[in-house]
């Protein structure tokens, strides 16, 4: 019998893409080194330590319940950091200004 290795290759590629997308340690270290003063007030990293690696397609209710419990614990433990981050997100930035004149979406809203 001939076994196709294509599905394994696709799965491996997919797993590598996911691993690269969620690898935040290098970015965190770079931002912390390059922006020590700014990072303290505007850069937030929430990186819960999950006790076991869980596949993205996990369907076991026990495993998913455990993930929810770990997440709840992480949020409770880091409540103040989440509040500071939320405050920073809703505070207008002095670097971003509204464009002069009518905005395109204002015209669309009037037409609706």
By three-state DSSP, how is residue 72 classified?
helix
26-54 pLDDT, tens digit each: 777 777 777 666 555 677 778 888 888 88
d(CA 87, CA 79): 12
Interval 98-105 mean pLDDT: 64
By three-state DSSP, how is residue 33 classified?
helix
55-100 pLDDT, tens digit each: 888 999 999 999 999 999 999 999 998 998 888 888 877 666 666 6
Interval 4-11 mean pLDDT: 66
Q: What confidence score (pLDDT) does residue 49 get? A: 80
Q: What confidence score (pLDDT) does residue 12 get? A: 82
Find where tokens 């003063």 sit.
Answer: 37
Which pair of structure tokens corresponds to residue 99? 């464009």
């Amino acid at each position: 019998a001939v076994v196709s290795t294509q599905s394994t290759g696709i799965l491996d590629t997919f797993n590598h893409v996911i691993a690269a997308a969620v690898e935040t340690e290098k970015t965190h270290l770079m931002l912390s080194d390059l922006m020590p003063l700014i990072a303290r007030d505007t850069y937030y990293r929430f990186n819960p330590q999950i006790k076991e690696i869980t596949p993205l397609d996990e369907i076991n209710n026990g495993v998913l319940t455990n993930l929810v419990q770990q997440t709840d614990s992480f949020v409770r433990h880091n409540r103040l950091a989440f509040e500071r981050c939320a405050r920073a997100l809703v505070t207008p930035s002095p670097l971003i200004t509204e464009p002069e004149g009518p905005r395109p979406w204002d015209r669309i809203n009037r037409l609706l």
